[in-house]
Chain A
């Protein structure tokens, strides 16, 4: 009897392990609730075989400490068959559900009653009521600079979505406002959405969106052509910082700016000493003064992606761990997105050579150990 029970248990465990997606590296501890033991794991989110290219993933926390991710995928970037995919990660099980498409060109055309050429850059956000917001761009004419932002809200954690709303954010035929990084909560139920403009000028912006999805305000964070794709982290109710992707070939450093009025005004963007190869960055606050960023800390290429930590409100950054470091210059690990769940665990997703979305999961204990070792 004892042998039978032991055998069954072993079979069940081996089944659960084999059921998991392929891991890039080893898992150093099992995921779970708040743990003083370092936890670190890395895996790829399984994509549909028919999807050649995936890109621009974004995460949001779910009420059960689970995580939802969205990204876009298709036969190639900008293809008309591009769809927005959603998947969920269960921390106790350590696995992702099979991704399912939630928005396609046809669905968006039907909901908005107009012609749409392609979709891209989805961004997820979960508010304090457990409602899930999705923002993504759609293009009807031209390239990405012809993008407009769409917003939908889900009351059932992404199982179904409310009606899609087209946000009008530009007086120039509503083209050229894009989203990339996660919104942050500000006062009175409103959210601050990092955005950017790329048409004649290329600059960072932020939208303030009310709880019903209405645009309340639009804030310019930089001007001219220099920085885009801001990533915002709030330190207190009013103060926060932003990191910006740099497109200036002469100043290939991450841009930095600060707000002290909940995002209504921003200091001018200053270059940090951290390099940036014209690539997207992601940032989060751990709520006790520490900022964590995911970025490519190199001047050219995207073959290195690292975790950086700042303990002085973003003024200086230390690289504490390389998530990816390849000698092959053509390898591309990009468009990172980081969130922190209520149990203090961090989740990172990023584009892995445009073929997969990689997921990294670690906890505060692991991060502290990495910081201490530096």
Chain B
């Protein structure tokens, strides 16, 4: 459950940081609001803390979402960027590409349930790990790290789920990816192939 509290602490901190950015305030306000919201997360409202409510309602997040949250929190607070736009786009593209087939099937569209393959995932994990090596050498290091970290997490049982897919991605990352690409399409800012060559600025 502690990994869940950590994940939703990151969510609260990120919300605080984005709020400060929106208000046009400086970095010191991020420290204050981030700390305040984090402490508020542990405050008990009618027997449960906000973190317990969030964990109860939304469940644990995947390792990829956790890494993305860590990267976004760090890059929002400092000049140190763990993930550039292309990294994020490649992760979201992979999650959306899998998710548009995966979620309808898991919700009962077909008799085959792809979620099942994540319970004894030797073959599935091997495919993803081989893909991660290829992806690493193609320069998509954040995506490769996400796959590697998800595989390690599943092996050591970091999350409460026994399923490999739950370590790899979750419905929230999928929804975020869908919104991201729909908005990008409407703004005509997206190039159809997200794995395009990037310039020196990482754009």
Contacts and interface: CB of A to CB of B under 8 A. Distances in A.
Interface of A: 106, 109, 112-117, 140-141, 148, 165-166, 168, 170-174, 197, 199-203, 214-220, 222-225, 268
Main secondary structure of the interface of A (DSSP, over half): loop
Q: 9 closest Cβ contacts across the A-B interface?
A: A201-B108, A115-B56, A113-B1, A168-B161, A114-B56, A140-B56, A114-B55, A115-B48, A115-B53
A230 to B, nearest CB: 14
Contacts, number: 101
Given A113-B1, A199-B107, A217-B116, A171 B56 contact: no
Contact of B110 (A112, A173, A223): A223
A200 B160 contact: no
Given A200-B108, A217-B120, A170 B52 contact: no
B102 interface: yes
Contact of A166 (B53, B107, B113, B160): B160
A216 B120 contact: yes
B4 A113 contact: yes
B108 A115 contact: no
Interface string B91-107: 00000000000110011
A332 B119 CA distance: 39
A171 B170 contact: yes
Given A109-B52, A215-B119, 20 more contacts: A106-B47, A109-B48, A114-B4, A115-B52, A140-B56, A141-B57, A168-B160, A170-B115, A171-B103, A171-B165, A172-B106, A172-B171, A173-B59, A173-B171, A201-B107, A202-B108, A215-B163, A220-B112, A223-B109, A225-B108
Contacts of B52: 109, 113-115
Contacts of A112: 1, 56
A168 B119 CA distance: 10
